[in-house]
Structure 1
């Protein structure tokens, strides 16, 4: 990547202006990116290269010249800016910020609900039900839904491991084997640490369940089953909050389906655990 890369464009108009400085081969890449942004967010680097009549190396180089770390980074920005028109200035009398936040969340959850392949979800439950060990891997903004799900699955007797440290996740993956399951959460599907854990798990014969936002990504290519919990939605800075919210709900749904299949245990013991964690006489 050039040492003095330009700032990441924050709109398609700025991306178009930056593309004017590219050479012929890289220019064809930019034409594809700008001409078909809604499709590109679900493409692989190879598919962009084929559409532009060039190589994957040229695609990556074009993205870096435009100021991105690579194609995966540019793809995330295209997903973000593609949703920006929905965030136009609100007319007088529009809902306040709190109402908008809840409306955005409700819309995002409905979109995710309709996008989830029910047959793939059933197959995911099969994997969760039959696994001898289950390792959850994810980092950054994917860590909160991962830790929440680990607690939930523990309440129905599933042998779940969810190390918070990314190296601990990779160490655990190296001890998996046939009959085990690695559940990977990643908004982009291109998180380096998560991919390293998944590759280690798969190389040892473990199955892989991926939960991500993009149908085509490095993570989905490694997965036995992939569930898509949300794509381009209104921008929230660097935090893909609405997709993370969808991850929470999807994992909760898988927990419910698994509980219904296996029969939920008597909740009295779990309630006792919670009760004993409360401080007597707290004011």
Structure 2
């Protein structure tokens, strides 16, 4: 289930069919009325069929319409302003509430969208690999950098690509078996897609994206799906929540990988910690 049903409906409206979108818009406009309606009444009000209402409820991650109303009832006092984009004159308290709501939603939805079998498959490939490389553009580059920082502390040496020509040149000579991690929120960035096309045999492509049906995802061996939450309207803040979702996914893969050789990895972390404190000048 979504952390906040109203926000989740608003976020997913573009993905619904026409009649499902009509149901979603009615729920957003009249959440308290919906709590008193059965499937037939909501269907009539939204210009849909009872079957569409049930399908809509299930697409929102609930067991059915009754379950949908139970979660919706917990949010009947949600301030509608929290579902709107940031405005020029709102106070800091409102801004904090809006952002924290979206972060909670992002982490809850991403936790559900990260399929266990895909996470474990990614970890198994990383563990069996002789080499790792990772690439992302813009905010995704920050996530790629975080991947390198984490796995480097375990004695590994992931290659961080910052330029498409540099990455493709590296891929040609990357030892196999190896892993190529490509990070793209949309899954349609032309540079990242070009890199995916250049991955040679013997290397496994792991894609981190919010778009499981994207061009990049279709080219991947393993897909890790995130669910960033953005504010609808002209000004979108997806770069903020998409990075949150990517960092969470990387943390999950890292901790799962850490488990495989737990004692050895604990020792490596401790050794790096002690070395850093020994070589750094003492701070006063």
Report the TM-score range of the alignment, normalised by the length of the smaller protein: 0.5 to 0.7
In structure 2, the gaps of 5 or more residues are 1-12, 18-80
Q: Deviations over 1:33-65 (max 9, x none)?
A: xxx83158xxxxxxxxxxxxxxxxxxxxxxxxx
Q: Distance in 1 between matches of 2:14 and 2:184?
A: 21
Change (3 A) 1:277 1:228: farther
The size of the alignment, in residue pairs, is: 202
Q: CA RMSD in A?
A: 2.8
Residue 272 of structure 1 corresponds to 274
Partner of 1:249: 248
Give matches, 1:29-178, under 5 Å: 37-39=14-16, 86-87=83-84, 95-176=93-174, 178=176
Contact 1:133/1:179 (<8 A) preserved: yes
In structure 1, list runs of 5 or more residues that go unmatched.
1-35, 41-83
The structure 2 residue matched to 1:228, chosen from 225, 244, 256, is: 225
Question: How far has the Cα of 1:103 moved from its partner?
Answer: 2.4
CA 1:192–1:269: 2 relative to 1, 3 Å:
same
- SS at 1:240's partner residue? helix
CA 219–276 in structure 1, closer or farther in 2 if over 3 Å, else same: farther
Give the TM-score, by structure 2 length. 0.63
CA spacing shift, 1:215–1:281, aligned 2, 3 Å: closer
Instruction: Check 1:117–1:280 CA distance in 2 against 1; reply closer, same or farther (3 A cut).
Output: same
* 8 A Cα contact 2:180 2:205, kept in partner: yes
1:238–1:174 Cα change, 3 Å: farther
Asked whether the equivalents of residues 139 and 166 of structure 1 are also in contact (C-alpha less than 8 Å), the reply is: no
Asked whether the equivalents of residues 213 and 230 of structure 1 are also in contact (C-alpha less than 8 Å), the reply is yes
Moved beyond 3 Å, runs of 4+:
92-95, 235-239, 276-282
Cα distance change of structure 1 residues 207 and 244 upon mapping to structure 2, 3 Å threshold: same
